[in-house]
Amino acid sequence: MKSLSTSQRHYKALFITILVLFALVYLAPLYVMLTTSFKGIEEIRSGNILALPETLNVSAWTKAWSSACTGGDCYGLAPYFWNSIRIVLPAVFISTVIGALNGYVLSQWRFKGSNFLFGALLFGCFIPFQVILLPMAMLLAWLGLANTVPGLVLVHVIYGVAFTTLFFRNYYVGIPTELVRAARLDGAGFFAIFRHVFLPLSTPIIVVSVIWQFTQIWNDFLFGVVYSGPGTQPITVALNNLVNTTMGGKEYNVDMAAAVIAALPTLVVYLVAGKYFVRGLTAGAVKG
């Protein structure tokens, strides 16, 4: 291997320095949130926003989780956290399964009008949330699912299927047709080919779909505030209510702790499966 010249080493060092600076700027809000959440109110008011806490005070975290007021209720974020879990898990699973089957059909079992159907699904990816608020509300009312957790699950499944179908279809297009032909010669049918040929090869794109859907659904606020009711609100709605509820002095440490709690699940998902997400994208999630 050729060694880098002096100028090349200088450019490399410059680029690394620039990347580090951008990373520090990007992570600065998270740093401020974490440090503020471990400070007392007096320390926040009299200290530097970038200073580390003098002592680790976890009372703000305890209050944010179990006793902070979110509007008229003072039960903390815990009930709403579990509401989000009840919404996210089935919605991610159902939309991923439907997207996988749709992508399998659209890529390997062509039929008359399949291209038009795929184009219609792609169109669904670009429809703004606001456009479907009223018709979706009417649909949920007709089904008797208004202001319920199953109703929110249905909303996220319907809106997410377009994306998961796109992911799986573009991924499955790259699978060699010889595998499908060989399976057909062995007598495998529609579901047998999907189960024994496509699913074992689908781990990267399944991870992409799960991370995408989990992040979109967990961070959603608009659908949560419109289609939820008392007792079914997700954590994003509760966080908004907590931050905008003022009783006495403003408790910035509680607000910051609540924001970190609300963001933790998506951070954990990315830390655990982030490398598989990149691998799935490069393997065909945006190809086709």
Per DSSP, the residues of 228-247 read: --TTT--HHHHHHHHHT--S
Higher pLDDT, 88 or 53: 88
Residues 162 and 248 reside in one and the same domain: yes
Question: Helix 78-108 crosses helix 235-243 at what angle (to 10 degrees)?
Answer: 140
Residue 62 domain flag: no
pLDDT at 53: 87
Q: End-to-end distance of the chain based on CA atoms, in angstroms?
A: 36
Residues 38 and 178 reside in one and the same domain: no
Residue 69 domain flag: no
Averaged pLDDT for residues 224-253? 86
pLDDT at 286: 43
Residues 20 and 112 reside in one and the same domain: no
* pLDDT band at residue 287 under the 50/70/90 scheme: very low
Residues 142 and 243 reside in one and the same domain: yes
The per-residue pLDDT for range 62-119, each reduced to its tens digit, is 999 998 888 778 888 999 999 999 999 999 999 999 999 998 988 887 777 777 887 8
| Residues facing residue 70 across a β-bridge | 73
Indicate whether 2 pLDDT > 60: no
Q: What are phi and psi of 73, to 5 degrees?
A: -105, 145
Residue 200 domain flag: yes
Averaged pLDDT for residues 125-142? 87
**Burial bucket for residue 254 (CB in 10 Å: 0-12, 13-18, 19+):** buried
Residue 63 domain flag: no
Indicate whether 284 pLDDT > 70: no
What's the domain range around 190? 78-285
Of residues 288, 120, 280, 258, the one with CA closest to residue 202: 280
What is the C-alpha separation between 276 and 270, in angstroms, rounded?
9
Residues 178 and 215 reside in one and the same domain: yes
Residues 26 and 91 reside in one and the same domain: no
pLDDT at 4: 61
Residue 1 domain flag: no
Residues 155 and 250 reside in one and the same domain: yes
The per-residue pLDDT for range 12-22, each reduced to its tens digit, is 888 999 999 99
Which range (79-93, 121-135, 211-225) has the least confidence? 121-135
Residue 64 domain flag: no
What is the C-alpha separation between 193 and 104, in angstroms, rounded?
10
Residue 170 domain flag: yes
Residues 89 and 16 reside in one and the same domain: no
What value does the mean pLDDT of the chain take?
Answer: 86
How many domains does the chain fold into? 2
* pLDDT band at residue 285 under the 50/70/90 scheme: very low
269: CATH: 1.10.3720.10
Residues 45 and 82 reside in one and the same domain: no
Residue 265 domain flag: yes
Q: How many percent of the chain have pLDDT more than 90?
A: 40
**In one letter, which amino acid is 248?**
G
Residues 136 and 48 reside in one and the same domain: no
Residues 244 and 278 reside in one and the same domain: yes
Residues 123 and 21 reside in one and the same domain: no
